């Protein structure tokens, strides 16, 4: 009898722990791993980060409906979102345009509402090569309820220049902090662990 009640206690503890973990993952924070170099140098391949899902409000599970609005995505926010071409894939990019903004890229330079945007964090791996769409794009106006997102590694990023705007409901959350970073077993990047993302 005592063994049965001990087993029942363990099962109850596991069920409660699982339920709490699912609640936290659904509404508060989720882990995400950087798989590509589209956000270099801001985010490195192998960075593991936490995404704050509460930043922009609480959604009904398995829907895009926000039931408790908290705030709106802002220019400069690094967001994780459902890739518009395949919602089962998560992408991470930086918001460069909010609803109503006019976005244009001329000769690799980003313009917002007719003014050149100064971005200290961007990188160009092919500075001497200008390609259509990637380096000459727009102008386009960001529609209501959508955002224009680009990778910081501008020459090596598949982003809104190629597949369009990010719907507000597809945004999973705001990148928050790096909790682990490595290139492999022998190369842990200790200096990146704990860095807040901006």
Are residues 149 and 101 in contact, defined by beta-carbon separation less than 8 angstroms?
no
User: Residue 149, class by beta-carbon neighbours within 10 Å (0-12 exposed, 13-18 middle, 19+ buried)?
Assistant: buried
Question: Distances from the Cα of 126 to the Cαs of 28, 44, 109, 131, 154, in angstroms?
Answer: 38, 18, 13, 10, 9
**Is 55 known to be catalytic?**
no
**Cα gap 184→164, rounded to integer Å:** 34
Determine whether 174 is an active site residue: no
Catalytic residue among 53, 55, 59, 93: 93
Residue that has been written with the tokens 């593991």 in this structure: 48
Please identify which of the residues 38, 157, 160, 181 carries the catalytic annotation: 38
- Rounded-to-integer distance, Cα 3 and Cα 79, Å: 49
Contact 39, 46 (CB under 8 A): no
* Catalytic residue numbers, as ranges: 38, 93
């Amino acid at each position: 009898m005592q063994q049965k009640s001990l087993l029942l206690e363990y099962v109850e503890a596991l069920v409660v722990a699982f339920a709490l973990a699912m609640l936290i993952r659904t509404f508060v924070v989720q882990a995400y791993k950087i798989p590509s170099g589209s956000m270099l140098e801001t985010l490195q391949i192998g960075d593991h980060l936490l995404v704050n899902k509460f930043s922009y409000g609480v959604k009904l599970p398995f829907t895009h409906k926000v039931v408790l609005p908290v705030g709106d995505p802002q220019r400069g926010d690094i967001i994780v979102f459902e890739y518009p071409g395949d919602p089962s894939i998560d992408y991470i990019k930086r918001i460069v345009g909010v609803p109503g903004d006019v976005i244009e890229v001329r000769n690799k330079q980003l313009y917002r509402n007719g003014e050149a945007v100064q971005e200290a964090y961007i990188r160009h791996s092919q500075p001497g090569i200008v390609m259509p769409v990637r380096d000459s794009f727009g102008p386009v106006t960001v529609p209501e309820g959508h955002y224009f997102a680009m990778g910081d590694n501008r020459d090596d990023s598949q982003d809104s220049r190629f597949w369009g705007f990010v719907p507000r409901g597809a945004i999973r959350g705001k990148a928050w902090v790096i909790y682990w970073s490595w290139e492999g077993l022998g190369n842990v990047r200790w200096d990146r662990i704990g860095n807040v993302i901006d």
